[in-house]
Amino acid sequence: MSILQAIRIALFYLLLGTSSLLWCSLSFFIAPFLPFKARYRFINVYWCRCALWLSKVFLGIRYEVKGAENVPDRPCVIQSNHQSTWETFFLSAYFQPLSQVLKRELLYVPFFGWAMAMLRPIAIDRDNPKAALKHVAAKGDELLKDNVWVLIFPEGTRVPYGTMGKFSRGGSALAVNASLPVLPVAHNAGKFWPKTGWGKKQGVITVVIGQPMYAEGSGPRAIAELNDRVQAWNEQAQRDMGSLPPAPVANGEATV
């Protein structure tokens, strides 16, 4: 990493942290008096757009979106692979209003957590997985009925670029039980914004939005089948953008 790039990264984090503190502090006094959709835009959309702008100006990270025409009119369950912090900024600004699963402890962070608490997040206790799943199902269904997008990272945590974690069925189950589709999203953000460390690389992040996927029926089997389709789509989308190695070769032909 060059000295110039290190300076740019340091300035980015300094401005990102400062803007977060100032914006969350301001939101704490203004947002409670706004209706939910306006509150979401004030707290989350504007600041996330600021974060994306800072990453463009100081880090040289831009993005392109493919498949925007696939976004349905009615909010549903979004399932995306998870490689970095960048996609959280992007998805929170692109889909609005949006709720996502987060650790309950984050809500206790002064100002930042208090501001997040006003956005109707699905806050879970990760030490109690069974209770967390029930809470995601109940809270997620409530949000979807109120026309709020629900973002699920089915891998559960950020995974390094070039790899892929197993998709959990929670998001697919939420969609099936609500009689709504899953909107699949794939990206290669980890190539430029790695999972760990402060280092960043200049480049263009590709975000691919697939066609909404509906379950074929209901019940556990339909949930499992939908989940497999969502994961297979994401894996193929990542292969197409070069994020994953080619599929294994069998009998002289690539398998997908």
3-state DSSP assignment of residue 251:
coil
What is the pLDDT of the chain when averaged over all its residues? 91
In order of start, what are the domains of the chain with their CATH numbers? Answer: 3-245 (3.40.1130)
pLDDT tens, 127-183? 888 888 888 899 999 999 999 999 999 998 899 999 999 999 999 999 999 999 999
The predicted model gives 51-69 an average pLDDT of 97
Picking from 145, 161, 251, the residue whose alpha carbon sits closest to that of residue 200 is: 161
Intra-chain end-to-end CA distance of the chain, in Å = 36
- Residue predicted with more confidence, 92 or 104: 92
pLDDT at 25 over 80: yes
Predicted TM-score of the model (pTM): 0.91
pLDDT for the residue numbered 162: 93
**Averaged pLDDT for residues 20-37:** 89
